[in-house]
Amino acid sequence: MGHCGGVASYVDPEGEYERDSDYISTRITADGRDGYAVEPGRYRLVAARACPWANRAIIVRRLLGLEDVLSLGLCGPTHDKRSWTFDLDPGGVDPVLKIPRLQDAYFKRDPGYEKGITVPAMVDVQSGAVVTNDFAQITLDLSTEWTQYHREGAPDLYPEALRAEIDEVAQRIYTEVNNGVYRAGFAGSQEAYESAYDRLFAALDWLSERLAKQRYLVGDTITEADVRLFTTLARFDAVYHGHFKCNRNKLTELPVLWAYARDLFQTPGFGDTIDFVQIKQHYYLVHTDINPTHIVPKGPDLSTWLTPHGREELGGKPFGDGTPPGPPGDGERVPAEHSASRRP
């Protein structure tokens, strides 16, 4: 089954949504201790712009400037019961891996593979086999194991001195926010839904309070924690507010989080990875149990993403002593009509 970041998700007898987190945990490291050493051109990051878990890896690859050493394969916004597919590519085949479905790379690794076919996945180009789909570890390893190939001026997204705090904040964001919206959206009972809703908004209130006084979640520069929160906030009004019934407030009605989200959106490497059209198509077309009509909503108005946010007053520098990444490379730009744009 094609999944967005979660391996196998299910609803328990009480109607509670559970995300199985049993991933292929092989790591790609500088010393190659798991049998896969960091090497330019050896791996392909397979992702989908629609998926928040894959979106993180796309952002981190961009921020660190790894485009020339780690190629990017993009699946389309929808998948069938079996697998994500390369329907954006000519002939529906990934031009590097030469496969139509991501499941082919999973079966290359394990012919009897029975878990979810998830993005993001790191694929060994030569063998065509998936190395890992552990989305949380993938981005940390891009920051810590691929340092030899980071661009000049790349940010340290996982600074050693702040790792304990980043891990703690990121864990709460994962359980309460990243996964919290799914817990509300896929709840199988009124009670489970209301409990999920309360937990989600309690966490968003906690984040609002934390971010009222500081520009970023941990320290005074962008870290892994900000990347993890951003991909959920970017999808909040377009999908989670309506589709997943997370409707106490829109993001645009939470002043601190809305300013914070706009600040990141307007930072190179963040907003330029967001494809709102694919995001909406993914959720509203794939989740037929929640949206049987397949109607994709027209809104919301996206022009407000580019309005001034005023967060500079809190100090902090997005890239510390580093520099922003350059513009996205050829073939990796989100079409203008799929992104936020100022109204003419």
List binding-site positions: 84
From 175, 234, 184, 183, select the one nearest 206 (Cα to Cα). Answer: 175
Helix, strand and coil in the chain, % to nearest 5: 40, 10, 50
Closest CA to 284 of 340, 238, 335: 238
Please name every residue paired with 121 in a beta bridge, in sequence order, or none if there are none.
Answer: 46
The three-state DSSP-derived secondary structure of 91-151 is: HHCCCCCCCCECHHHHHHHCCCCCCCEEECEEEECCCCEEEECCHHHHHHHHHHCCHHHCC
Which residues 6+ apart lie within 8 Å of 85 measured at CB?
A: 75, 76, 79, 92, 100, 101, 102
- The CA distance from 89 to 71, in Å, is 15
260 given a catalytic annotation: no
Any catalytic annotation for residue 240? no
The single residue of 4, 17, 23, 51 carrying the catalytic annotation is 51
Q: Give the amino acid at 264.
A: L
- Catalytic: which of 23, 43, 158, 182? 182
Q: CA torsion angle for 203, 247, 56, 300 (degrees, to 10)?
A: -150
Instruction: Write out the binding residues for glutathione.
Output: 84
* Catalytic residue ranges: 51, 182
